[in-house]
Amino acid sequence: GCCQGADSASGATWACFLLGERALVRVRGPDSAPFLLGLLTNELPLPGPAVGEASTSARAGYAHFLNVQGRTLYDVILYGLPERSSEQPTFLLECDSSVVDALQRHLLLHKIRRKVTVEPCPELRVWAVLPCAPGEAGGGGPLRKKAAVCAPVLTRDPRTYRMGWRLLSQDEGSALVPGGRLGDLQDYHRHRYQQGVPEGVHDLPPGVALPLESNLAFMNGISFTKGCYIGQELTARTHHMGVIRKRLFPVQFSGAVPGGGIAPGASVLTESGQAAGKYRAGLGDVGLALLRSEKIKGPLHIRTSESGLVALTASVPDWWPTATK
């Protein structure tokens, strides 16, 4: 799991990670849904009815914004906030904080006459809440019985149950979670890379990453039955033509990794020197690489210098659909 040994002594059940690299944009107004649907790969998470003060009936979804050429621009977790009778439909979009301005410009460029407002939401912070014991990922979840008066949003991570829960709050997340303790952000990223979950601009370079190769379908981020959105033509055609030859796979380095890490874009080679793909991003000895599916089984390596190489192995996440194994 992502917790260190100290947890068994402290009895902590949940590790709470403050995701300073994720930011929130609020889209609100009567035209919110049709506006976002014309720009996103997926249907919107529609909230349940508001029950008292607690907003635990907010729903989360996952999607990408694509450019006209069908390449990923921004990966977002969407939150549909419960609508009280006097309020307008409101969605929160969680994105990489380095592109929060670019995302707002993208939204405003396409707004034209729609009755929506687009604004940052700096007062809420994004937390990831992961169970300390791996087996509890499928359990009831944190904050079950609490009134959760201070937690505007608590939902399962929509991408995979392996990523636990998302919590949006003005307050200290770990204080809200009974049995929770603050986690080290590096452990969150290590866990992500081990599970093969790309997130943010390093894993999904804007204008470069292709959504289906980025496993958008495995992460519940795309609907092939919804109406037109920017970049749909290439995406739908790729899907219907059948074969995705390359994908982002989680990789683990078995040798010593150079101090500065491995350069993004470094060629990954098979034992016999054939091209298997390219390294994308990572942390320490774990990361993601865009690899040809047929080449992932044997030993792989990256050349680090004239004479040096580092060995790595790729794996198939067990939460992917079984048809791909």
Partner 1 sequence: MAAVRGLTAVALRVVTPWQRSSRLLAASSGPRALREVSSSSPEAGEGQIHLTDSCVQRLLEITEGSEFLRLEVEGGGCSGFQYKFSLDTVINPDDRQGERGGVFEKGGARVVVDSDSLAFVKGAHVDFSQELIRSSFQVLNNPQAQQGCSCGSSFSVKL
Q: Which residues bind partner 1 (CB under 8 A)?
A: 34-35, 37-39, 68, 109-114, 228-233
CA geometry: angle 250, 252, 257, nearest 5 deg: 135
Spatial neighbors of 323 by CB under 8 A, at least 6 apart, are none
Residue 237 vs 245, nearer CB to partner 1: 237
Residue 236 vs 266, nearer CB to partner 1: 236
Spatial neighbors of 87 by CB under 8 A, at least 6 apart, are none
Residue 110 vs 146, nearer CB to partner 1: 110
CB of 29 to partner 1, least distance (A): 13
Closest CA to 305 of 258, 254, 255, 248: 258
Q: Which residue has the tokens 């947890």?
A: 7
Residues paired with 311 in a beta bridge: 301
Residue 111 vs 278, nearer CB to partner 1: 111
CB of 225 to partner 1, least distance (A): 15
As a dihedral over the C-alpha atoms of residue 108, residue 75, residue 243, residue 230, rounded to 10 degrees, the angle is: -10
CB of 23 to partner 1, least distance (A): 22
CB of 213 to partner 1, least distance (A): 20
CB of 312 to partner 1, least distance (A): 38
- Helix (H) or strand (E) segment spanning residue 238: helix 232-241
How far apart are the C-alpha atoms of 171 and 33, rounded to whole Å? 29
Residue 112 vs 241, nearer CB to partner 1: 112
Instruction: Check residue 138 and give left, alpha or beta (phi > 0: left; psi -120 to 50: alpha).
Output: alpha
Residue 110 vs 292, nearer CB to partner 1: 110
DSSP helix/strand/coil, 298? coil
Q: How far is CA 17 from CA 66, 92, 141, 155, 176, in A?
A: 28, 19, 15, 15, 13
Residue 111 vs 146, nearer CB to partner 1: 111
CB of 230 to partner 1, least distance (A): 5
CB of 204 to partner 1, least distance (A): 20
How far apart are the C-alpha atoms of 62 and 75, rounded to whole Å? 8
